Amino acid sequence: MAKVRMGMIGGGQGAFIGAVHRIAAAIDQQIELVCGAFSSDPQRSKDSGADFYLPADRCYGTFAEMMDKEAALPADQRMQFVAIVTPNHVHFPAAKAALEAGFHVLCDKPATLDLAESKELKTIIEKSGKLFGLTHTYTGYPMVKQARHMVANGDLGEIRKVVVEYPQGWLADAIDSEGQKQAAWRTDPKKSGAAGCMGDIGTHAENLAEEITGLHVDELAADLTAFVPGRRLDDDGNVLLRFVGGAKGVLTASQIAVGEENNLAIKVWGSEGGLEWHQNEPNTLLIKSKTAPMQVYRTGNDYNCDAAKAATRTPAAHPEGYLEAFANLYLNFANHIRAVEAGETPSEFATDYPKIDDGIRGMAFIEAVVESSANNAAWTKFDL
Amino acid sequence: MAKVRMGMIGGGQGAFIGAVHRIAAAIDQQIELVCGAFSSDPQRSKDSGADFYLPADRCYGTFAEMMDKEAALPADQRMQFVAIVTPNHVHFPAAKAALEAGFHVLCDKPATLDLAESKELKTIIEKSGKLFGLTHTYTGYPMVKQARHMVANGDLGEIRKVVVEYPQGWLADAIDSEGQKQAAWRTDPKKSGAAGCMGDIGTHAENLAEEITGLHVDELAADLTAFVPGRRLDDDGNVLLRFVGGAKGVLTASQIAVGEENNLAIKVWGSEGGLEWHQNEPNTLLIKSKTAPMQVYRTGNDYNCDAAKAATRTPAAHPEGYLEAFANLYLNFANHIRAVEAGETPSEFATDYPKIDDGIRGMAFIEAVVESSANNAAWTKFDL
Amino acid sequence: MAKVRMGMIGGGQGAFIGAVHRIAAAIDQQIELVCGAFSSDPQRSKDSGADFYLPADRCYGTFAEMMDKEAALPADQRMQFVAIVTPNHVHFPAAKAALEAGFHVLCDKPATLDLAESKELKTIIEKSGKLFGLTHTYTGYPMVKQARHMVANGDLGEIRKVVVEYPQGWLADAIDSEGQKQAAWRTDPKKSGAAGCMGDIGTHAENLAEEITGLHVDELAADLTAFVPGRRLDDDGNVLLRFVGGAKGVLTASQIAVGEENNLAIKVWGSEGGLEWHQNEPNTLLIKSKTAPMQVYRTGNDYNCDAAKAATRTPAAHPEGYLEAFANLYLNFANHIRAVEAGETPSEFATDYPKIDDGIRGMAFIEAVVESSANNAAWTKFDL
Amino acid sequence: MAKVRMGMIGGGQGAFIGAVHRIAAAIDQQIELVCGAFSSDPQRSKDSGADFYLPADRCYGTFAEMMDKEAALPADQRMQFVAIVTPNHVHFPAAKAALEAGFHVLCDKPATLDLAESKELKTIIEKSGKLFGLTHTYTGYPMVKQARHMVANGDLGEIRKVVVEYPQGWLADAIDSEGQKQAAWRTDPKKSGAAGCMGDIGTHAENLAEEITGLHVDELAADLTAFVPGRRLDDDGNVLLRFVGGAKGVLTASQIAVGEENNLAIKVWGSEGGLEWHQNEPNTLLIKSKTAPMQVYRTGNDYNCDAAKAATRTPAAHPEGYLEAFANLYLNFANHIRAVEAGETPSEFATDYPKIDDGIRGMAFIEAVVESSANNAAWTKFDL
């Protein structure tokens, strides 16, 4: 057996999330980066690839070239899947090209630039017969899997209420108009899509809430704001949620919350219990009951569910973090590829990663919050 | 100089908040409980008073009797103020009777049964020339005063966002229909008013947000729910807030959040900094900045503002809690009474307690969330 | 029934711990301060008493005068017990005088200036037939009682290890030689006794460890230091502990731990479980097991033991603190007085406060750590 | 430029720390595992290597064979360094063989089986001219580097006191005599050395204290215990520390602390400030001062020192953990190899990893605590 071969689109020198993807792919030593279209500038692509110890002839100037050249390589050399780590507007064309060229795709979130693209992408995926994964990283944490397990197991009873928060502070000032590259594209509607903060991190919050509770948002009422003068997309938003089945919730996300790092947090209450998880201390899950003391579940302990244990590499209190959560998505995706390419049934956990349906829901969320906010926070349903 | 003499309406045997008021009044040894109408049953009132070492002739069967008898006592013996600690529907008639009989009033929150009453009460207060205080306890915490100070001082810049939460779990089941006295009146519209959870604890959250930020809510969109079958008033609510001046916010309160004790918490972010405070660890205030490490302000340190220091009895890490926060309201109110009765200018802190205008805002909040929710979360302004 | 009548020795204007005692006595409204020898300066004693609304003729210049005058009052007017809140060197003579005059005594810790005095005091107490309580405040916390209960109940199995810490930072500089009154007497051997930090706070740590575990220290090895140049008594100490029965431990206390407030903390591990408690968040007790998630016990919940519940006034997450812990000692002591004076059997909790045997152990601890440290940390037994 | 080529001794199927080393080496994609002597059983070594995608001819049955065969390979193919991840008794012979065959060595801790070996190893290293690194993982954390920086910068003033704790609970029962492999060798004097708990984790605590403070332990007094009946080595120990220059301290480590995961923690106080760090939440460093609020330093922020920033891959609150801390040692070691092999001056951070002198101090610590404890906790100096 050999490592699974990966190509990458985007992620050249100066990029942020590309480096994260490469680390995530490397951690478990099951995936090998073999090629990339790291930049639309061919020389820059080759320079970037050299940093990753790739030969120049596997560093391409366009993803179209990449597909052509890789497809022409022998089956045991060509890449098996491609990781797409570009700004949002490139997701769809890159994924389409890869799928149609016969490659599996692991794509950064949100899935596409708009909802229509993501629906079309689903059709393309189904037609291609290839795998598509979406890197909603936070669902890769063991304690998120444990939370999901306990809700599914009925430990919390019927879910009644969800409060999910995602405050960041890095866009509190107008750095997007001052040349900060990460800020610039995220606040540009042509590259980011219809929403800013809500697309970049609000979708993570929506995905986390739905993943843990197993519930779907039915309708929402959103109040989005661009607090920084001149900013073209929202940098903050507050959303009322109504879930199918009657649960209620609040989602609040911000990129102008000064002094906040990346504090995605969720609280869920059901008729019998509650849970609480904070991404900035991800190895702890708080479980609340009506009559007993609160319990502190911790990563790496035997009492956790199998999915949580499978997503952990070290014993308790050898803290694993964001990169390992990300690696869990990569590892499952690689194992899924191996299974389908071998014609075998994938193991339970090999298919435990976000897919296009999560991506479509994320895009529907974005369009719903933007529409609702434009209508003065009118209740708006997902256009699925 | 002598202790300030207090009477009490409500708070007899079996009551909850009355005992808290008596402790709060006792802590600083500046107030003496001299009489009470502890129960509408005269014998029960006398029995309760005996528990508090009061003579039977100062324990009355009605507040009307109390006003008559006390007013007839010599000036240096009669009560100087009355604490009203009944269910909500008694607040207005009791306060009216006391004020018109010439006594100052310290009333539990919310101010009255409905907004109209509280507006009428303001007129009565002004006409009486007497003092009226409202026990929004949480504003009595030193670290809340410190937070208020830092916002007023501009340390956070222009306020942009407020997230205030108040989850409790004690009404997750239908204990109100099973004879639990505290639950029963709080879920009875005739005794509690138009809102349940929102009146009982939502008003605390609203008051805290306005007190710390110095901002007023302009309009809100509320989604209230009664999750427990058969409950007549909301036991949960999620509210979008828009403040005068452009700040936005979220208020969420619940009494069905299983496993939550009494976890009022607030986060505020401005253009230059942020703050965070949790009532369940009230001696800590977190201050966040753009570039420096987060600072952990703690009760009892010299770096705190004068109002915070004046509200603290012991050195740092001799934790003071809810009862001391409550006592701070009593102490200031007693000092204010002394000043006005002596014809002196009260000290700065003597007037630092919630008053009828806070009460009116609280009632306007209640009516707005109920109206908004009835209109499917339509934006609704305070009717002031 | 009437309130229990208290006198006070020490605690006049400018004192620290006297004010704390008066609050503790006031909180539950079962005790009335009726007289005091607040200062050795008669006028200052009267001035102090006036602050507490006492008549001048109940404010004495000496405790000897106090005993004479009070004993001469009618039985239903004279004080029933005296609280001694002076520097350490006055504890013994004041307690002796009070006991021999027929008054119960509640004394601040440590019990006396040296071990010999405390042994003599025990004889005096027994001869007098009066009650003697010692205000090791921290054992008054509900969660300390819960910890004690769980150890006694065998929940932790056989105790193996104890780590108790008490860091403070307020003596990191030479404020004792710069006129700070609290610092000056605590570092003066004539007023404080043989130890500085170890007497002032080390004894609290020793008492807490023994109270929670029910174990007695058998021998110890201590390394004491006076870090601040010119200081006559230790301001820091590290101690190895060996308990009767084979448990081991560490006790570390400091008053030069810059930035520490008053962070008494204890961890205990037995063959089956562990516990952890921190005084700066006193309403939380962590319980650890071999196989299950850690449990977070919190004050005010039904699952706590009866002693913990009896020591709590408000529901969960209405945080009670240091003053309430102190009040628990006062309340139990007052109830014990009532029972013995009525010739009744005291309730279980009425006798739940530290007594002279705890005081003797504390003094033996002080003498042992000083002797051990003088012998280069040689193992030293308690001289009981 | 190519990746640095690594071989591994030990770490085959069923091992714990070998897998951790491989992840640490993989994370930053600068190191390639090219060969291994994973087991003393040749077939098992090849089977293990196959799991890591290694060809059978690079999987050796002994480290001697490994040295011979690798040395015979072309310079651009042979391994450049070897990672030793065996039980302690193999460290010395394996390191000796590798160094003498011309390979750099990165060795798990403690350095050797006893102190004499580690002194001899130093001579061998110096003679070989090769690099030797020791994986005291915890010093790889960014916040440990920040702590070290602030002490060195004088932010804490003159260091006075250190309290370092390392509680684990996994050896609370006699699992070592029940076939648990990790437990068995750690409690076997022939494989573990003179100490059990103190060698396994006590050395980490000692190393952390010395690394952060820049101070050396001068003498210590230790009380070691084997609480579990039949255990041949200590499973718990309490140690008084005296540092060169006058600072004092306490070190306590345990493997019978039921319910503790891996909670290495350190507190340091100097004349001007204090610090506190806990490995179970490694991205937080608390900084304490005399007059200002405590500061919460967090990984990933611009205010950190260069060494901390260089040891971080992601922005703040994308938590990095134990594996990344470990990777920081590997990355620096690989960069150091590149520099010396290229004849260049290594960058500052390339040499920032523990070396043989740290290893010798660790072994001296082990021998000192064992000797002290055998002498009833007599003060004992390091035999350097």
| Tens of each residue's pLDDT in chain D, 384 residues | 799 999 999 999 878 899 999 999 999 999 999 999 999 899 999 999 999 999 999 999 999 999 999 999 999 999 999 999 999 999 999 999 999 999 999 999 999 999 999 999 999 999 999 999 999 999 999 999 999 999 999 999 999 999 999 999 999 999 888 878 888 888 889 988 999 999 999 999 999 999 999 999 999 999 999 999 999 999 999 999 999 999 999 999 999 999 999 999 999 999 999 999 999 999 999 999 999 999 999 999 999 999 999 999 998 889 999 999 999 999 999 999 999 999 999 998 999 999 999 999 999 999 999 999 999 999 999 999
Q: Closest by alpha carbon to C150, among D167, D263, A293?
A: A293
Indicate whether D346 belongs to any domain: no
What's the pLDDT tens digit per position in C69-128? 999 999 999 999 999 999 999 999 999 999 999 999 999 999 999 999 999 999 999 999
What's the pLDDT tens digit per position in A182-230? 888 888 899 889 999 999 999 999 999 999 999 999 999 999 999 999 9
Token pair recorded at residue D244? 């060169």
- How many angstroms separate the CA of residue C88 from the nearest CA in chain D? 28
- How many angstroms separate the CA of residue D182 from the nearest CA in chain C? 18
Interface C:D, Cβ pairs < 8 A: 134
In angstroms, the CA A174 to CA A180 distance is: 9
Under the banding of pLDDT at 50, 70 and 90, the label for residue C179 is confident
Helix axes A322-341, D322-341, angle to 10 degrees: 90
**Cβ(A149)–Cβ(A308) below 8 Å:** yes
**Amino acid (1-letter code) at residue A108:** D
* Contact residues on chain A for C293, CB-CB shorter than 8 A: 287, 295-298, 301, 303
Residues C111, C220: one domain?
no
Residues listed for chain B: 384
Token pair recorded at residue A337? 């590829």
Domain stops at, among A109, A134, A159? A134
In angstroms, the CA B65 to CA B59 distance is: 10
* Contact residues on chain C for B313, CB-CB shorter than 8 A: 19-20, 23, 323
Residues B193, B54: one domain?
no
Q: What is the pLDDT of residue C259?
A: 96
Contact residues for D15 (Cβ-Cβ < 8 A; gap 6+): D85
Residues B43, B65: one domain?
yes
**Cβ(C7)–Cβ(C97) below 8 Å:** no
Average pLDDT over residues A303-321: 93
* Neighbours, chain C (3 or more CB pairs < 8 A): A, B, D
Indicate whether D254 belongs to any domain: yes
Residues B114, B148: one domain?
no
Domain stops at, among A82, A113, A134? A134
**Cβ(D159)–Cβ(D147) below 8 Å:** no
What's the pLDDT tens digit per position in C7-59? 999 999 878 899 999 999 999 999 999 999 999 899 999 999 999 999 999 99
Bond prior to B55 in cis (omega within 30° of 0):
no
Residues A127, A181: one domain?
no
Residues C45, C68: one domain?
yes
DSSP readout, A249-285? EEEEEES--TT--S--EEEEEESSEEEEEETTSTTEE
Residues A125, A191: one domain?
no
Give the CA dihedral A43, A44, A46, A48, nearest 10 degrees. 170
Indicate whether A178 belongs to any domain: yes
Q: What is the pLDDT of residue A334?
A: 98
Indicate whether C227 belongs to any domain: yes
Q: What is the pLDDT of residue B292?
A: 97
**β-strands A273-278, A265-270: how paired?**
antiparallel
Q: How far is CA A47 from the centre of its chain?
A: 28
In angstroms, the CA D308 to CA D310 distance is: 5
Q: What is the pLDDT of residue C85?
A: 97
Helix axes B88-100, B115-128, angle to 10 degrees: 20
Q: Does the beta-carbon distance from C298 to A293 stay under 8 Å?
A: yes
ipTM: 0.95
Residues C167, C309: one domain?
yes
Residues C239, C373: one domain?
yes
Contact residues for C133 (Cβ-Cβ < 8 A; gap 6+): C104, C105, C106, C107, C329, C333, C336, C353, C354, C355
Indicate whether D256 belongs to any domain: yes
Residue of D nearest to A314 (CA): D20
Task: Return the CATH number at D161.
Answer: 3.30.360.10
Residue of B nearest to A169 (CA): B290
Integer CA distances (angstroms), D2 to A52, A54, B369, D79, D334, in order: 9, 9, 65, 12, 11
Indicate whether D323 belongs to any domain: no
Token pair recorded at residue B366? 């209640």
Q: Name the domain count of chain C.
A: 2
Under the banding of pLDDT at 50, 70 and 90, the label for residue A146 is very high
Token pair recorded at residue D28? 């930053």
Q: Does the beta-carbon distance from B23 to C27 stay under 8 Å?
A: yes
Interface B:D, Cβ pairs < 8 A: 32
In angstroms, the CA A211 to CA A152 distance is: 10
A1 pLDDT more than 80? no
Q: Does the beta-carbon distance from B227 to A160 stay under 8 Å?
A: yes
Strand partners, B270: B159
Residues D155, D272: one domain?
yes
Strand partners, C105: C82, C132
Q: Which of D1, D6, D29, D326 to mutate to test the interface with A (most CBs of A within 10 A)?
A: D29
Residue B324, H or E segment? helix B322-342
Residues listed for chain A: 384
Q: Does the beta-carbon distance from B319 to C280 stay under 8 Å?
A: yes
The total of other beta-carbon atoms located within 10 Å of residue C51's CB is: 14
* Neighbours, chain A (3 or more CB pairs < 8 A): B, C, D
Domain around B224: 141-316+364-381
Nearest CB neighbour to C259, from listed D236, D260, D274: D274
Indicate whether D347 belongs to any domain: no
- How many angstroms separate the CA of residue B141 from the nearest CA in chain C? 11
In angstroms, the CA C215 to CA D260 distance is: 22
In angstroms, the CA B110 to CA D90 distance is: 73
C183 pLDDT more than 90? no
Domain stops at, among B87, B102, B134? B134
Indicate whether C228 belongs to any domain: yes
* Contact residues on chain A for B257, CB-CB shorter than 8 A: 161, 267, 269, 274
Residues B153, B275: one domain?
yes
Residues C27, C148: one domain?
no
Strand order in the sheet with A4-9: A31-37, A4-9, A81-84, A104-107, A132-134
Q: What percent of chain C has pLDDT over 70?
A: 100
Q: What is the pLDDT of residue D297?
A: 98
Integer CA distances (angstroms), A184 to A48, A173, A176, A188, in order: 22, 12, 4, 6
**Tens of pLDDT, residue by residue, chain B (384 residues):** 799 999 999 999 878 899 999 999 999 999 999 999 999 899 999 999 999 999 999 999 999 999 999 999 999 999 999 999 999 999 999 999 999 999 999 999 999 999 999 999 999 999 999 999 999 999 999 999 999 999 999 999 999 999 999 999 999 999 888 878 888 888 889 988 999 999 999 999 999 999 999 999 999 999 999 999 999 999 999 999 999 999 999 999 999 999 999 999 999 999 999 999 999 999 999 999 999 999 999 999 999 999 999 999 998 889 999 999 999 999 999 999 999 999 999 998 999 999 999 999 999 999 999 999 999 999 999 998
Task: Return the CATH number at A48.
Answer: 3.40.50.720
What's the pLDDT tens digit per position in D274-319? 999 999 999 999 999 999 999 999 999 999 999 999 999 998 889 9
Nearest CB neighbour to C289, from listed D167, D248, D259: D259
- How many angstroms separate the CA of residue D304 from the nearest CA in chain B? 9
